[in-house]
Amino acid sequence: MGNLNLFISCGEVSGDLYAGDFIKEFLKISPDAKIWGMLGANAIKNGGEAVWSYDELKLMGIIEILPALPRIFKLKASIVKEVLRRNPDAAILIDSPDFNLMLAKNLRCSGYSGQIISLVPPTVWAWRSGRVKNLKRDFNFCLPLFKFEHEYLNSCGVKSLWQAHPLVHDLKNCVVPEEFYGRFKNDKVIALMPGSRKYDIKYHGKILLRVAEILREKNYRPVFSIAKGLNSDVAQELRDLVKDFDIWEREGRELMSGALAVAGVSGTVAVEAMLLKKFMVVIYNMRRLNYWLLKKLVHVKNISIPNFLSPEPVYPELLCENATPENIVNALEKYLTSEYERKIINSRLEQACSHMGNSNAAEFWARSVFNAI
């Protein structure tokens, strides 16, 4: 076998993290492999070539995507053309389902015959289950993050492989850094996680700013995480917004590991908090029209993954008009001031974590792709 050639498409911070982990492990198996595509900083650091920046797809919300459609279609056509020209052995499409499902269909229709793999496939178990047919038709197999997703996909006739969630391995050696102890000593730190997209900051920044003000009045020390993957302009906008409070610009997981509790935007951060055994108040705010559309389309009652892994909810979820600063602080204090509440939640956290596997997921992904090629 000659030098392997892989194309990767990812479109946001979490996707870039998975891409970087995959590339790192794949190059251990095949050191001379050429790996390129639409990538971010983590994938580049681990050996990938960014032909397009993953910033192209940092979009959120049904309404926000509409004006960007012409640019997205042009990007997709450019990628299809380059994939056909380079003819990689496999195309690994990570998350960003609206774009990547369309990309996979166009690759197949244009004659691409290599392996197409969905890493972090769409949440067909929660909404838009009709996309199962796309997974069956255009992808060779899927590599989901969670065991329940893997079981669902297999039950639908989609080939799926699973061993563990990548964060299990990533967070195994996560410790509270010396910088945290040096800065905050014995302070009662609450980690505030505004998200990793411009959309997140826009719809949650001011809410969390007011949360910080209330927490400070109650003698807690709120600390804002500025995600490492944030666009530099958005990061500066967030710094300006929270200039009167402490900020943390290292890994958000390091901040959470030293905090008493967490409040932040729904997403991967909730899974990280769960694995770190930290209580979190999950919030999500959006335009009214987006929320109305999602209520019509989504068929599950929770939005936070940890709440799917336990028979009873692990984290409170405050959505839209319920995501008020007062409600967020009340939920935090209910946990922090009640030993009975902490005992219940901590037991549910243990139960949820037991469904995450215990091996190196990225190594498993790399081996699965290598074997398929």
For 297-336, what is each residue's pLDDT tens digit? Answer: 455 567 889 998 988 999 999 988 899 999 999 999 999 9
Percentage with pLDDT > 90 across the chain: 76
pLDDT in tens, 12-27: 888 999 999 999 999 9
Structure tokens at 272: 């990280």
Beta-sheet strand order (sheet of 115-119):
49-53, 34-39, 5-10, 90-94, 115-119, 141-143
Does position 160 have pLDDT exceeding 60, yes or no? yes
pLDDT at 289: 41
Longest Cα–Cα distance in the chain: 65
pLDDT at 203: 85
What value does the mean pLDDT of the chain take?
91
Does position 1 have pLDDT exceeding 90, yes or no? no
Indicate the pTM of the whole model: 0.84
Q: Where are the alpha helices (DSSP H) in 9-158?
A: 13-29, 41-45, 62-65, 69-86, 97-109, 132-138, 147-155
Does position 293 have pLDDT exceeding 50, yes or no? no
Helix, strand, or coil (residue 100): helix
Percentage with pLDDT > 70 across the chain: 92
- What is the average pLDDT across 286-293? 49
Residue 91: half-sphere exposure toward Cβ, Cα within 13 Å:
27
- What is the average pLDDT across 31-44? 96
- What is the average pLDDT across 241-252? 96
- What is the average pLDDT across 329-350? 97
**CA separation for the pair 325, 318 (Å, rounded):** 10
Beta-sheet strand order (sheet of 189-193):
246-248, 221-225, 189-193, 261-265, 280-284, 317-319
User: How many residues are there in the chain?
Assistant: 373
Phi, psi of 158 (to 5 degrees): -95, 130
How many helices (H) does the chain have, and how many strands (E)? 17, 12
**CA separation for the pair 54, 290 (Å, rounded):** 24
Lowest mean pLDDT among 75-89, 116-130, 144-158: 116-130
Does position 284 have pLDDT exceeding 70, yes or no? yes
Does position 163 have pLDDT exceeding 80, yes or no? yes
- What is the average pLDDT across 143-163? 96
pLDDT at 64: 57
| DSSP bridge partners of 116 | 91
Structure tokens at 220: 């807690």
**CA separation for the pair 368, 193 (Å, rounded):** 34
**CA separation for the pair 200, 194 (Å, rounded):** 6
pLDDT in tens, 48-74: 999 999 988 765 444 456 677 888 899
Does position 127 have pLDDT exceeding 50, yes or no? yes
pLDDT at 61: 47
pLDDT at 65: 66
pLDDT in tens, 259-274: 999 999 988 899 999 9
pLDDT in tens, 203-227: 899 999 999 999 999 999 999 999 8
**CA separation for the pair 230, 228 (Å, rounded):** 6
Structure tokens at 332: 């935090």
First-to-last C-alpha distance (Å) of the chain = 10
